[in-house]
Each structure stands twice: as C-alpha cells, then as structure tokens.
Amino acid sequence: MLSLRSLFSKFFKNTTSTKKSAMINLILFGPPGSGKGTQATHLVDKYNLLHISTGDLFRSEIGNKTPLGLEAKSYIDKGELVPDSVTIGMLKKKVDENPDVKGYIFDGFPRTIPQAKALDTMLRESGQSVTLLLALQVDEEEIVTRLLNRAKTSGRSDDADENIIRNRIQVYLQNTAVVAGHYAESDKSVTVNGMGGIEEVFGRLTAEIDKTLVHQ
C-alpha cells in the first residue's frame, strides 16, 4: 500500500503534468501593418495568455537599469546586435515573473533559427514546448496603404516612406520563412489569411489554435 506521502507525491506530479500540458505557447508573426498587435490583444483575452514583446522587454529592462538591461545597452550603444543569450535571459525572467498564466504569446521573437532553438530549450526546461506559430499573411500593397495612412497620425518616419516600408516587409518575410520552416518540421506552423475585418481574422486564428489544442 502506498504511504500518504507517496500518494500526495503521485497526485502532485499528475496535476503538475496536466497543468503543463494545458499551457498554450504561441509565436505570432505578422508584417508591419498586419494588425498583429490587435490580434495579440484579443488572443490574450480569450486564452488568458501573457503577451511577451521583445521590444517592450528591451525598453523595460534598459529603462529600469537591470543587469540584463545594462548588458543589452552596452551592445546597442556600440551599434552591435544584442546576443541571443541576453534576449533569452529577459524572456526567461518575464516568464518566471508570471507563473500563473495559461501560456504565452511571443511577439518579435524568435527571428532566427538559433533564437528558435534557444526558445525551444527554455520551454523544454519547464516541460513546455511551442504550441503553434501563426503567420498573418497580408498583401504587400495593402500593407503599404495601411502604413502610409497610419503615418498621418503615428508620426513614425518609417511609416511614411514607401521604400522603407517595402524593405521592412522583405526583412519580415525572410525572417518568417526561416523560423516558420523550423516549426513546420514538427507541424507547428500555419499561415493565416490576415485580410478582412478584425473579428474575421481573429476567427481564423482561433480556429487554427483550437484545432491544434484538440490534438495535443
């Protein structure tokens, strides 16, 4: 007969495993002007996720002068790329600070295969994995039109220059193709039509997520 301690240990192990398996870890890709930020907000509300934007992380860590922020700033000030280890350190810190959410939406990361592998390792250390990569697909001309219109109120110079916009789109496509290919190897990458109204696109995203969760 199992002791009370053994029974408790077994029960705790099973409930922990169940909680982990229920976690939803999404990577949301989308070109500038695709409505990715809006969709991320809706997904956070529906699935009780934490939206982790690397841009926001960098600004927060540097602004608060944390050790990771100061280290990142030392590279940025020299015009060098921040090492993946520093970025992953910021991601891990954010994840550790929010243990009670049901999962995460990673926005702006990973952008390269080494970053994707680093993220995989970080999640695996806590018994997790990427659930799905969702790439919003929007026609280039539509993106250009949206951003040029946005420039009238955003004040962003990179939204007002068509050549810069098209270059940003190409950079996005190159990054997405590589990372999406990495997750496609394990059937965890899907392209979603990003054209149409907010609710229409949201419906497509949730359909893909729910379909994946059913088979987890």
Catalytic residues, by residue number, are 36, 111, 150, 156, 168
Token duo for residue 23: 């976690």
The H or E element containing residue 5 is helix 4-21
CB atoms within 10 A of CB 148: 15
Long-range contacts of 14-23 (CB under 8 A, 24+ apart): 17/127, 20/126, 20/127, 20/128, 21/216, 22/102, 23/102, 23/103, 23/128, 23/131
CA distances from 64 to 57, 84, 93 (A): 11, 20, 14
Alpha carbon 15 to its chain centroid, in Å, reads: 27
Phi-psi category of residue 108: left, alpha or beta, with phi > 0 → left and psi -120 to 50 → alpha: left
Enumerate residues 6+ apart whose C-beta is below 8 A from 193: 137, 201, 204
Cβ neighbour number for residue 82 with a 10 Å cutoff: 17
